[in-house]
Amino acid sequence: VDIYTDGACRGNPGRGGWGAILVYGSREKELSGGEPMTTNNRMELMGAIAAMEALREPCDITLTSDSKYLTDAINKGWLASWKKNGWRKSDKSAVLSVELWQKIDALLAIHKVEFVWVRGHAGHPYNERCDALATAFADSFAE
C-alpha cells in the first residue's frame, strides 16, 4: 500500500487539517480531517495515523510525506530513542504530542512501513492533492 500524507495549519497554532491518500493497485481512497486549534506538526502526524488506522490488516506500506519531522523521527531513530528514554528527547525535555507518537509506535508494530520524504509544493501530484485536502479542512473551521 502506498500512502501519501500532508498536514496544514492556518497559524501555528491555528485551524488545522490533514489529508491522506491510500493507493492499492488501481484503487485510491482519500481521507481528511482536522482540528479547530492545533499545530502543523500534530496535523502531519494525524494524517499518517489516520491512514494507517484505515487499513484492515497488517500491510507493507510506503508512506510518503513532506514532513521532515515525521520522516526523520522514524528514519533517524528519534522515535526509538524517545520511547527508550521514557518519551524524553535527548535534552531531557518531554516529547511533544507524545500521545500521537505512541499511536504511531503502536501502528509500526502492526505494519511494515518505509517512510519517504518528498519536497512539499514541488509538483508531486499526490503531495499536492494531500495539501489541498488538508488546507480545505483547515479552512472549513470558522476564523
pLDDT in tens, 20-32: 999 999 999 999 9
Cα 14 vs. chain centroid, distance in angstroms?
17
Active-site residue 131, yes or no? yes
Is 105 tagged catalytic?
no
Annotated active-site residue in 7, 16, 17, 19: 7
The pLDDT, as a whole number, for residue 43 is 98
Cβ(32)–Cβ(136) under 8 Å?
A: yes
C-alpha span between 43 and 31 (Å, rounded): 13
pLDDT of residue 91: 96
Phi, psi (deg, nearest 5) at residue 27: -95, 140
Distance CA 110, CA 102 (A): 13
Predicted pLDDT of residue 35 = 97
Annotated catalytic residue 124: no
Q: Quote the CA–CA distance of 28 and 23 in Å, as a whole number.
A: 5
Assess contact for 38 and 96: CB atoms under 8 A: no
Pick from 126, 101, 106: which is nearest to 1 by CA?
126
pLDDT of residue 112: 98
Q: Extract the C-alpha cell encoding 110.
A: 502492526
Residue 21 pLDDT: 98
The segments of the chain whose pLDDT lies below 70 read: none
Q: Which of 55, 9, 58, 2 is nearest to 36 (CA)?
A: 9
Distance of CA 92 to the CA centre of its chain: 24
Residue 57: predicted pLDDT:
97
- 66 catalytic residue (yes or no): yes
Cell numbers describing residue 52: 494507517
Our answer to whether residue 7 is catalytic in this structure is: yes
Q: Is the dihedral of CA 134, 37, 105, 81 positive or negative?
A: positive
How much is the pLDDT for 142?
Answer: 83
Kindly state the cell numbers that stand for 141: 473551521
